[in-house]
Amino acid sequence: MRPFRHRRLTAVVALATMLVTAAPPTAANAADKPDRRAGYHRVGYFTQWGIYGRAFPVKKLDTSGAASRLTHVNYAFGNLSEDGRCYVDGGPGEGDAWADYQRPVPAEESVDGVADAPGQALNGNFGQLAKLKAKHPDLKVLISLGGWSWSTYFSNAARTDASRKAFVTSCIDLYLKGNLPGGNGAAGGPGAAAGVFDGIDLDWEWPNWAGEPGNVIRPEDRENFTKLLAEFRRQLDAYGRTTREHHPLTAFLPANPATMDAGYEGRKIFTYLDFATVQGYDFHGGWEAVANQQSALRVPAGSPDNPDFSVEVAIDGWIARGAPRDKLVLGIPYYGRGWTGITGGGNGLFQPATGPAPATFEAGYEDYKQLKTLAGNGYTVHRDLRAGHAWLFDGTTFWTYDDPAVVLQKMLYIRRAGLAGAMIWSLDGDDDNATLTKTIGLGLTTW
């Protein structure tokens, strides 16, 4: 583990402090006592599929030092059936029970160095999360339901009082009570995953607003989302009376003000949520014909879009709609968005492109750990310190991303705005030293 260069980091802290402090007042940064919180949430998404191509097992959260900097790990994702139930299925496109709890984890990938034994009821990622919690007892693990690909049937699940009750019951039974499919000598069975998950994170993308093609959408989703949260809170509290624990309920919320208005009853939803994570990325990407920022703190000068998206636009949007600032957790991307075929010269920003940049897993999308290696290797790092974003450009290919300096600036924004903390999508994008997660930990340390 390489130590931080304290002198350079101190300079970055001072500069970021100056930039945040000098910002004009907005709804988000006008808090009366912005730097005084009992503690900050530091929420990281662990992806089910990260164990494959990215070779990111749960163990890396421990060996990299990330786990000790986190308060919550959200497991992405849990699926919903067409009739509105939580379920686990290994069918194509429906889930990966093998990764979740069936795969025998070898000793070299195990959090405690002990391989899964034949006949165990709990293997895979779920078993490793249980071991991670044993080493980090203050860490909370939540199952995240939905996501971009699996929000198809949320509207069905939320539609009626009966459907909401059945949906919530099925989720608590499967994940919190741990009653997994299987058993009788195979992995799974009644209570196999009991204690792995502490709560529920709802990633409905989005109520009454188009997400992935094929999603079921109804105008009444807006009110039904609030009712669904109420039902989750009721049943989680009832279950908590048997476990003598509080089981958290969180939700992932959009950055687009139009989506906020279409799908959410602003202030009401926070009655039931412990906190909400806010999308702080994907403002622009390779689906557009112009290279742009995907996660800037503020809208950059010269932006070709008006109105445009930014972290500040998203946070101010939620506060204006009644969200309590101390329940808003800002999303931080551990990946970049890229374009190639850039023409127009200059530093590449706001210049036309021919398409998304080639990348490891998906065109136009690359993990931070890969992007950090480009700096100085044909690419120049550019910064807009006022707008709070950085990008890489080699004259042809452009990547917008968050490096440690940008992340630290955002942490200071969180403190000044009186927000609840930071969220990470996703943990497998960081390097082996958990550089970005450690930067979040440093920036949100309570003094």
Give pLDDT tens digits for 299-313: 999 999 999 999 999
Residue 275 lies in a domain: yes
Residue 382 lies in a domain: no
Rounded to an integer, the average pLDDT of 340-345 is 95
Residue 28: the pLDDT is: 54
Q: Which residue range is the domain that position 138 belongs to?
A: 6-334+404-443
Note whether 212 and 192 are within 8 A (CB): no
pLDDT confidence of 27, banded at 50, 70, 90?
Answer: low
Enter the pTM of the model.
Answer: 0.94
Residue 373 lies in a domain: no
For residue 223, indicate whether it is catalytic: no
Domain count, the chain: 1
Note whether 369 and 430 are within 8 A (CB): yes
pLDDT confidence of 94, banded at 50, 70, 90?
Answer: confident
Residue 220: the pLDDT is: 98
pLDDT higher than 70, residue 187: yes
Task: At 215, list the tokens.
Answer: 């999603």
Question: What is the spatial distance between Cα 436 and Cα 277, in angstroms, rounded to a whole number?
Answer: 18
Sign of CA dihedral 193, 199, 205, 206: positive
Residue 21: the pLDDT is: 42
Residue 166 lies in a domain: yes
Residue 22 lies in a domain: yes
pLDDT higher than 80, residue 48: yes
How many other C-beta atoms can be found within 10 angstroms of the C-beta atom of residue 112?
Answer: 13
* Residues 80/83/84/90 CA torsion (nearest 10 deg): -20
Residue 223 lies in a domain: yes
Question: What is the spatial distance between Cα 121 and Cα 123, in angstroms, rounded to a whole number?
Answer: 7
Rg value, the chain, Cα: 21
Which among 82, 109, 205, 220 is annotated as catalytic? Answer: 205
Rounded to an integer, the average pLDDT of 373-400 is 98
pLDDT higher than 80, residue 370: yes
Residue 12: the pLDDT is: 52
Residue 174 lies in a domain: yes
Residue 230 lies in a domain: yes
Rounded to an integer, the average pLDDT of 184-190 is 93
CA 77 to chain centre: 11
Residue 42 to residues 27, 69, 70, 287, 444, Cα–Cα distance (Å): 23, 7, 5, 30, 8
Q: Mean pLDDT, the chain, as a whole number? A: 93
Rounded to an integer, the average pLDDT of 28-33 is 44
Question: What is the spatial distance between Cα 279 and Cα 298, in angstroms, rounded to a whole number?
Answer: 14
Q: What CATH number does the domain containing 256 carry?
A: 3.20.20.80
Rounded to an integer, the average pLDDT of 403-412 is 98
Peptide bond into 307 cis (omega under 30): yes
Which has more pLDDT, 316 or 38?
Answer: 316
121-161 pLDDT, tens per residue? Answer: 999 999 999 999 999 999 999 999 999 999 999 999 999 99
